[in-house]
Copies of this chain bind each other. A is one copy, B any other.
Amino acid sequence: MKNKELEKNTPWDDLHEECGVFGMYDFDGHDVASTIYYGLFALQHRGQESCGIAVSKTDGPKGKVTTHKDMGLVNEVFTQDILESMKGDIGVGHVRYSTAGASTRENAQPLVLNYVKGTLGLAHNGNLINANELRRELEYTGAIFQTTIDSEVIAYHIARERLNSDNVEEAVRRAAQKIQGAFALVVMSPRKLIGARDPYGFKPLCIGKRDNAYILTSESCALDTLGAEFVRDVLPGEVVTITPEKGIVSDTTMCLEKERQARCIFEYIYFARPDSQIDGIGVYDSRIKAGRFLAMDSPVEADLVVGVPESGNAAALGYAMESGIPYGTAFVKNGYVGRTFIKPKQSNRESSVKIKLNVLKEAVDGKRVIMIDDSIVRGTTSDRIVRMLRDAGATEVHVRISSPPFLWPCYFGTDIPEREQLIAYNRTIEEIRDVIGADSLGYLEIPRLEELVNGLSICKGCFTGKYPMEPPKEDIRGDFER
């Protein structure tokens, strides 16, 4: 996923910049579309642009697939009638994140296609760094592309590898070995559900079970929602194949030694839902810890600790716990901002930030406030929020950020703007503090990142410029346009 502003810090959408994938195979033959719907609903925070479900009957002829996908939220795209018309005991689903212009219905997932062995359904979260190369290679052998999503490149490779593979899971693994970058992949073949995670483990993927049905999902919170049990995470580099005959079969050919793994730390800091567990680490816990570390490393005297909703709240609680300074609520967020909201024009008196956030004057008036947010991208929103706190009577505003400063591009799925637009680029902490008008400013320190996740190996590229694999020479973001 690429080519998009990190919108989160705009006041419009506290959006997570990701996709969510979901797969389900019910060995008892029950229809899965409705459960996938609720599963996607639990993953909705990972993508609000478009969504889709594809299902198939494993006892049906020729792997016939029923698909429905469109722009919009899960509850906008699907109706009772549509869900009921989707018959099948195996299926995949997808939610896609929201971008301004490049988003089109053609790019909605899952991708469904016919190839030499029947039909495949494919849902993908992540970003390939060699997608353009692979596209060109494929085009030089006569391939055609109808979308601009990486999933189509992956699908092609699976189809080609299938010609020399004994089975579809081998083809998936061979394809996975050719593509480079971040991917959590769910593939449905006529009678198999397959999950794959890139060797670095950038993107999360886990396995669940309910009665006699298996589930693959980006986040474990979807399992709770469905009343399913958590089985385990798919390992970085692992390909799992789920069939009634053999249950879960694991192929770990691609797995790397643990130290080379490179989970995206932003899943913990911001993307994932706090009630999810990723690779054994609770997201909520890691955010509490981030707040504690900030309290240890950037202490300040104050009367109140508050979070910028929603993502700053857990770290604020951690800061309060560690510092002993009372936790409070300073903001009321209007939760009704939707995809079709009309943004105020520059000429209007209304301001975007005010429409989305309001300060609880009585909570902050006369107080020294510590305000916790998960990141600062351009700084414009932080600036306004700090001012709103002061207008409401806060005597001091101390900003603490539960991640280090953004300084480098991400090639693996997080949309970070051009360096020139990053407030931290070419500025000292003191200069940033000055821009946003805070009394003091503290960031989480880079060495703390591993501590958040109990020492798991992570990717810190956007903070350090050091990536787990060679970044592409060309700017891959937005290079390919239909």
A143 is an interface residue with CB less than 8 A from chain B:
yes
Residues B160 and A139 in contact, CB atoms below 8 Å apart: no
Residues A163 and B140 in contact, CB atoms below 8 Å apart: yes
A313 is an interface residue with CB less than 8 A from chain B:
yes
Residues A344 and B282 in contact, CB atoms below 8 Å apart: no
Residues B113 and A139 in contact, CB atoms below 8 Å apart: no
20 more A-B contacts (CB under 8 A) besides A73-B338, A105-B105, A116-B136? Answer: A34-B350, A37-B342, A41-B341, A41-B355, A65-B482, A73-B336, A76-B338, A112-B146, A115-B142, A139-B159, A143-B159, A144-B155, A144-B159, A225-B334, A225-B350, A225-B355, A225-B358, A227-B354, A282-B362, A284-B362
Distance between A431 CB and nearest chain B CB, rounded to angstroms: 29
A79 is an interface residue with CB less than 8 A from chain B:
yes
- Mark the stretch among A199-207, A320-328, A441-449 that contacts chain B: A320-328
Residues B336 and A64 in contact, CB atoms below 8 Å apart: no
Bound-complex Cα distance A74 to B362 (A): 29
Given A112-B482, A144-B114, A349-B210, verify A275-B338 contact (CB < 8 Å). no
Residues B111 and A146 in contact, CB atoms below 8 Å apart: yes
Bound-complex Cα distance A56 to B348 (A): 20
Bound-complex Cα distance A113 to B317 (A): 51
Bound-complex Cα distance A62 to B132 (A): 14
Of the candidates B34, B106, B162, B349, the one whose C-beta lies within 8 Å of that of A35 is: B349
A332 is an interface residue with CB less than 8 A from chain B:
yes
| A336: nearest chain-B partner, CB-CB | B44
Given A41-B355, A139-B159, A227-B354, verify A113-B145 contact (CB < 8 Å). yes
Please, what's the 1-or-0 string for A352-390, where 1 marks a CB less than 8 Å from any CB in chain B? Answer: 001100111111000000000000000000000000000
Bound-complex Cα distance A210 to B348 (A): 12
Q: Which residues of B contact A337 (CB under 8 A)?
A: 75
